Amino acid sequence: MKNIKLLTITLISINLLCYAGGDIAVVTPYESNDVELATQNAEPETYIEPIKEPEPTPIVIKEHLKVVPPPSKKEVNPSGFYVGLGITGSRYYDTCKCTNNSITQEISNKERNIAVLSRVGYDYNPYIGIEARGILSFAEDKDMSLTHTGLFIKPMIPLGDITNLYGLLGFAKTRVKGRNTPHLNAESMAFGGGLEFDLSKDIPKDGIYSREFDGKGNQEKGIGFFLDYERLVAKEHAPQLDAFSAGVTYDF
């Protein structure tokens, strides 16, 4: 009876194991070897990181900016040329000791004359220039007629923005003839001076000047007027011959 119970328990246990899915099959040696060899030959799994595509580089379109260079300054070459025209009142004075019928006496000769004065000059800078001038009697005068031409160095001093003080020193040729005056034909030194007044508006141009800006005195483009004096003959024993002039100028 004990054997039957034992057998019954054994069968129930085996049956339960089979129902539970237990594997009671016998593993043969060659199956164990195949599993071992497959495990040894299996390559380990390698993790391959996915390749990230590079982000596209943004294309920056630069606007082409036109760089405008600053305007270059032009060379400014102010013209120093000028012309002038005026009226001259000349005065002739001479004394001599003359003998007539064995009588010696001192005789004075005084005459006056009206003439036209012309001027042409060039100012190198506000302080020095050169000028040619001429005086010619414009009416027939039997008492006295005058012809005078000369070339002068013209030193200058600007007195503010509209006034220019100048001097004259040069060489001139002078001829005087008349009914009551001794004839004179002289080549000699001459000198004088005067004032120029600028009636134009002096505005410097934007640029590089080839010389100092001549906006002082009467040296800028436009109209002006002048007053001056000249000793026509600066020579020993020569008669005193003076000229007082006034007129207009135009600076180029």
CATH number of the CATH domain containing 139: 2.40.160.20
Query: 119: domain range?
Result: 82-251
Residue 52 lies in a domain: no
Tokens 């043969």 belong to residue:
28
Q: How far apart are CA 17 and CA 125, in angstroms?
A: 132
Residue 13 lies in a domain: no
Contact 171, 189 (CB under 8 A): yes
Residue 188 lies in a domain: yes
Contacts of 92 (CB under 8 A, 6+ apart): 109, 110, 111, 112, 113, 144, 146, 176, 181, 239, 240, 241
CA dihedral (206, 81, 216, 127) positive or negative: positive
The list of the chain residues with pLDDT below 70 reads 1-71, 76-78, 96-107, 139-142, 180-181, 202-220
The pLDDT value recorded for residue 189 is 95
Contact 90, 146 (CB under 8 A): yes
The pLDDT value recorded for residue 193 is 96
Count of C-beta atoms within a 10 Å radius of residue 118: 16
Residue 45 lies in a domain: no
Q: How far apart are CA 130 and CA 231, in angstroms?
A: 17
Residue 15 lies in a domain: no
Domain count, the chain: 1
